Structure 1
Amino acid sequence: MSAVADGFGTGELTVIGRISTASNVTLVCDAEGGPRVVYKPVRGERPLWDFPDGTLAGREVASYLISDALGWGVIPETILRDGPFGPGMVQRWVEAVDNHTDRGDRLDLVDLCPVGAVPDGFREILRAQDDLGNEVCLIHADDPRLQRMAVLDVLLNNADRKGGHALEGTDGQVYGVDHGICLHTEHKLRTVLWGWAGRPVDEVLLADIEKFVKALPGEIADGLAAHITDAEIDALGHRAKELLAHPYMPVPRTSRPIPWPAF
């Protein structure tokens, strides 16, 4: 269903709540005649010294456009439109699985477990201490849907892939949200999805990236130009070509490769 047809793009937004844990104003709304959405007004953004160009809302839209152009569907449909507090990012709400009620207290896609108890199907990222001083492991699922998100983060140069930004939808898909600090020209990759570091990128994903690189200079770049700079578009193309030339997941290059908090 198109954004216009179901009210997503034009229906009046009614605020029903606020996500208080978000660092910028993040509102949950119902669109008249349409779906539930997340609305982040530009006026509610806190300026970041190292992201001086454009808006965080624009970077969220640009990230969606890239995911969509790749054909991966990792990021829920995201647009820039007017709302009750002015222009902002509007994104379709993801109905997420609650593993702690729906599936008998199963682990989330990104979770914690006791040291030495990493279950099958998960990868250990690091060891740390919880709030009570107990030693725990940060882990994530060894899941191709999540791996595709990790590859997208490399292309986006995502500086903030927290565990809570990876959602398992009730429709069986895995979605990534919160892409306001992506697409910088300088290396800023910070993520909890390091479990595939140094491993080959799936050939199917590489084929999609190759098509993307060929198409980028045309209509895709034109769409991105409304939200990010020409230099950032060029850097995106460079990262994609670099991944094709060396088709392995990167390893951490900085002293702070994981965002904090991790969730």
Structure 2
Amino acid sequence: MTAEGEPSITDEEGPGLDDATAMRLLRDGTLDVAGRLVEATNMTLYCSIRNGAHVAACVYKPVRGERPLWDFPDGTLAAREVAAYEVAAATGWRIVPPTVYRDGPLGPGMVQLWIDTDPETDLLALVRSRHPALRRMAVFDAVVNNADRKGGHLLPLRDGHIYGVDHGVCFAADDKLRTVLWQWRGKPLPREAVTVLVNLEHEIERGRLGRRLRELLAPAEVEATWERVRRLLDTGIHPYPSEDWPAIPWPPI
């Protein structure tokens, strides 16, 4: 994405932070807005964040900058982004960069660690691939009911890891899965995924994850998340696209 004003933040430490340190920095650091990502639908600000010796770049999406949507309650997108991080953290797959909900210069919102991607990656080729990280992401998206998994929401790193971002339209109680990652539809879930899903089912029903999701989402949305996990375990396969709505978001990249 392009930021107005072409901000420059020296960020030698940010990419090397472990997740626990990054979370403390995001929660407690001082935010300094450097520019705006002009291609984003909702207000998305590129910032530096500093706490003592730690400094990194991050993205800040204030609630007041969210555009109303007909199918999601107003002012809930930032919390959904944080909920997606919580689910991703529970999987152990590190799909979503460290993300918190906190106050900022324009009020409360989502703050997420900035990720520098590999500029040489061909996103079209990546989306069509069967990269193991994308298969994990396909399972994750089915759990969180991601209504907008575009190719541009994939952040490939030079070391081969792939992050996913922009999870503001997840966790609807009604099925809304729209994604470019349908290459495993109908295929049996890998053993690794089944193990992760069994843990998610327990964590949502009676563990810390369920308590955290109930802080961020409506009760019906938490219940629907548990039901999607249970459905994946019952069927044992990656879901098929729905016949009732477009299965791929537009634009796909």
Query: TM-score, normalized by length of structure 2?
Result: 0.86
Q: Pick closer, same or farther for the CA change 1:249–1:20 going to 2, 3 Å.
A: same
Which amino acid counterpart does residue 13 of structure 1 have in structure 2? L
Which amino acid counterpart does residue 173 of structure 1 have in structure 2? H
The structural deviation recorded for 1:196 is 1.1
For the aligned residues, what is the CA RMSD?
1.7
Partner of 1:107 in structure 2? 122
**Structure 2 contact 63–75 (Cα < 8 Å) conserved:** no
Q: Pick closer, same or farther for the CA change 1:197–1:4 going to 2, 3 Å.
A: closer
Matching residue within 46, 57, 63 for 1:28: 46
Partner of 1:256 in structure 2? 246
Which amino acid counterpart does residue 161 of structure 2 have in structure 1? Q
What are the residue-to-residue correspondences of 1:41-56 with 2, within 5 Å? Answer: 41-52=62-73, 55-56=76-77
Matching residue within 155, 167, 173 for 1:167: 155
What are the residue-to-residue correspondences of 1:212-251 with 2, within 5 Å? Answer: 212-217=200-205, 218-251=207-240
Percent identity over the alignment?
44
Distance 1:4 1:243 in 2: 32
What are the residue-to-residue correspondences of 1:165-204 with 2, within 5 Å? Answer: 165-204=153-192
1:13-46: CA deviation from partner (whole Å, max 9, x where unpaired):
1112211111100011000232110110000001
Partner of 2:60 in structure 1? 39
Unaligned 5+ segments in structure 2 are 1-17
Query: TM-score, normalized by length of structure 1?
Result: 0.83
Partner of 1:208 in structure 2? 196
**Structure 1 contact 156–182 (Cα < 8 Å) conserved:** yes
Give SS of 1:79's match: strand
Give SS of 1:187's match: coil
Q: Which has the higher strand share?
A: 1
What are the residue-to-residue correspondences of 1:60-209 with 2, within 5 Å? Answer: 60-99=81-120, 107-108=122-123, 111=124, 140-209=128-197
Q: Which has the larger radius of gyration?
A: 1
The aligned length equals 230
Q: Pick closer, same or farther for the CA change 1:5–1:224 going to 2, 3 Å.
A: closer
Which amino acid counterpart does residue 176 of structure 1 have in structure 2? G
Which amino acid counterpart does residue 62 of structure 2 have in structure 1? P
Worse overlay, 8-17 or 64-73: 8-17
Partner of 2:5 in structure 1? none
1:67-108: CA deviation from partner (whole Å, max 9, x where unpaired):
111211100111001111111100011111011xxxxxx522
The structural deviation recorded for 1:228 is 0.3
Q: Pick closer, same or farther for the CA change 1:166–1:5 going to 2, 3 Å.
A: closer
Unaligned 5+ segments in structure 1 are 100-105, 113-121, 123-138
Give SS of 1:29's match: strand
**Structure 1 contact 190–256 (Cα < 8 Å) conserved:** yes
1:114-149: CA deviation from partner (whole Å, max 9, x where unpaired):
xxxxxxxx7xxxxxxxxxxxxxxxx52210011100
Q: Which has the higher helix share?
A: 2
Distance 2:42 2:22 in 1: 27
